[in-house]
Amino acid sequence: MCRVLLASPEQADRILLKQIFSEHFFNVTFLDDALSAEEAYTRSLEQQPDMLILDVSESSDEIFQYKTNIVKRHPNIKVILLDNEENFKHIQTAIRCGAVDYLVKPLKAEECKSAIHRAILALNQVSLLHYERKSVTDTIKESAAQMMQYVHEHYHEEINLDSLARFMHLNKSYVSRFFKETVGMSFVSYLRHYRIEQAKKLLRTTDLTVTEIAEQVGYLDLTYFSRIFKKETNYTPNAFKQVYQGEHVPADIAFAEGKTK
């Protein structure tokens, strides 16, 4: 489930974005709309948004400070920024703060869809944007959601394609093909990527040892975990911890665009 927080004083923009979510994405729930960055921050104290779409049209440093505070509280949140007109300073700030995209009004549906698509993939969730609209059936949506939920709930266990097929009560070959066509990568690749993302989070935010973290994300062999981690991140687990502990790592745009298939 992807929890979305819309923060904009423009009702028309909020309505358009919700229509785009409804027509082209699934497994999304909306938190109560915010009319300002300050209100969005207040919402974030009470709830846990996965995606923030924030209007930064008002030229105020406070907007970005509230955005930064939200990210500090929810380090894995993905942010899309909206602006009334192209503002070089805002673009620079967006890049530095790791925003997934920066969209200039009037909002264009295709640009919005593309930005949301990247944000959802960066959250390790399924996006059905690449399907023809007529082929996105409720069955496809339900099956994809069940598969992703299974991975997200059992990634720390010894799961594989066989166990996923048993869970879905479907043929293993069909599950393998469906998963790759829907998610954009194989089950094995996705499971590995998701486990490493969880390991990165634990390395940044806890004092657990590398051995403990490896076990928590499903790797009982520390040597194998370290090798896979370095292949995915170009860091050893210990080096990653030294560099990034306590810091927010922005969205991996390369992955979000599907370049790690």
Segment among 3-7, 115-119, 182-186, 252-256 with least mean pLDDT: 252-256
Answer yes or no: is pLDDT of 35 > 50. Answer: yes
Percent of the chain's residues with pLDDT above 70: 87
Answer yes or no: is pLDDT of 65 > 90. Answer: no
Q: What is the CATH number of the domain that holds 47?
A: 3.40.50.2300
57 falls within a domain: yes
Answer yes or no: is pLDDT of 38 > 60. Answer: yes
Q: Decide which of 77, 97, 122 is a domain's last residue.
A: 122
Q: What is the CATH number of the domain that holds 183?
A: 1.10.10.60
Give the number of domains in the chain: 2
Q: Which amino acid is at 193?
A: H
131 falls within a domain: no
50 falls within a domain: yes
Nearest to 191 by CA among 226, 157, 215: 157
Q: Give me the pLDDT at residue 251, please.
A: 41
Per the model's pLDDT, the better-predicted residue between 172 and 256 turns out to be: 172
Check whether residue 160 and residue 110 sit in a common domain.
no
Q: Decide which of 91, 122, 153 is a domain's last residue.
A: 122
Check whether residue 67 and residue 163 sit in a common domain.
no
Check whether residue 145 and residue 106 sit in a common domain.
no
200 pLDDT tier (thresholds 50, 70, 90) = confident
Return the axis-axis angle of helices 172-183 and 187-205, rounded to nearest 10°: 60
> Average per-residue pLDDT in the chain?
84
Segment among 6-15, 75-84, 200-209, 251-260 with least mean pLDDT: 251-260
Check whether residue 97 and residue 208 sit in a common domain.
no
**How do residues 68-88 score in pLDDT, each as one tens digit?**
889 888 878 899 999 998 888
Check whether residue 41 and residue 89 sit in a common domain.
yes
Answer yes or no: is pLDDT of 94 > 50. Answer: yes
Range of the domain at 228: 137-261
Task: Report the first-to-last Cα separation within the chain, whole angstroms.
Answer: 23
Answer yes or no: is pLDDT of 8 > 50. Answer: yes
Check whether residue 202 and residue 96 sit in a common domain.
no
Check whether residue 163 and residue 232 sit in a common domain.
yes
**How do residues 132-188 score in pLDDT, each as one tens digit?**
555 667 777 788 878 888 988 899 999 999 999 999 999 999 999 988 877 777 899
Check whether residue 249 and residue 196 sit in a common domain.
yes
pTM over 0.85: no
Answer yes or no: is pLDDT of 124 > 80. Answer: no
Check whether residue 157 and residue 261 sit in a common domain.
yes
Answer yes or no: is pLDDT of 255 > 80. Answer: no
222 falls within a domain: yes
DSSP string computed for 122-183: HTT----TTS-GGG--HHHHHHHHHHHHHHHHHTTS---HHHHHHHHTS-HHHHHHHHHHHH
Q: Strand 78-83 and strand 101-104: pairing?
A: parallel
Check whether residue 92 and residue 142 sit in a common domain.
no
Close Cβ partners of 243 (under 8 Å, ≥ 6 residues apart): 235
219 falls within a domain: yes
| Chain centre distance of CA 20 | 18
Answer yes or no: is pLDDT of 248 > 60. Answer: no
40 falls within a domain: yes
Q: What is the mean pLDDT of residues 5-10?
A: 96
Check whether residue 101 and residue 160 sit in a common domain.
no
Check whether residue 111 and residue 142 sit in a common domain.
no
Q: Decide which of 79, 99, 122 is a domain's last residue.
A: 122
Answer yes or no: is pLDDT of 258 > 80. Answer: no
19 falls within a domain: yes
In the numeric block, which tokens belong to residue 7?
Answer: 């923060």
